[in-house]
Structure 1
């Protein structure tokens, strides 16, 4: 299982680079099993959700699985507001 960590800050300006870094790390694995540790995330906007959903889409398309742990309450609330919390919890 690959473990990826969200940074302390994940705003719009950092989102593409964060997802690209993760995609590069996962390319060699044909059926990735990924755990994302979100516990360090302090400053974020909806781009953090876009990164998590992008990773989920990629991993699921390869037949893998994603588990998100340590999701801060504010991120859970934002995901609920956008209607994607269930997607992230069952990823």
Structure 2
């Protein structure tokens, strides 16, 4: 599981994506290639912009490219609303 930081704006994107890559690599090392669910937890997220959506969608893409299921949990209501406005809410399945 990847715990998102409190802040995700454009400046934090590379760091958060690196953390997710590390999470993917650890899951593969511990559990092999089988389709284990990778979850992103947004409970700590307090400050964000549309970059947070881009991060979540890229994490989903990276997980699926490695044969992993992907889900999010505890996203702030404002981020869910932003996803709805951008038409991508259906891509952010809850765990």
TM-score of the superposed pair, with normalisation by structure 1: 0.88
> Which structure would you say has the larger Rg?
2
- 1:8-64 superposed Cα distances (whole Å, 9 cap, x missing partner): 111100011111121123125134421111111100001111111001001111111
Matches within 5 A, 1:26-65: 26-28=24-26, 29=28, 30=33, 31-65=35-69
Instruction: Please list every run of 5 or more consecutive structure 1 residues that lacks an aligned counterpart in the other structure.
Output: none
Map of 2:85 onto structure 1: 81
Count of aligned positions: 89
In the superposition, the TM-score normalised over structure 2's length comes to 0.84
Gaps of 5+ in 2: none
Equivalent residue number for residue 20 of structure 1: 18
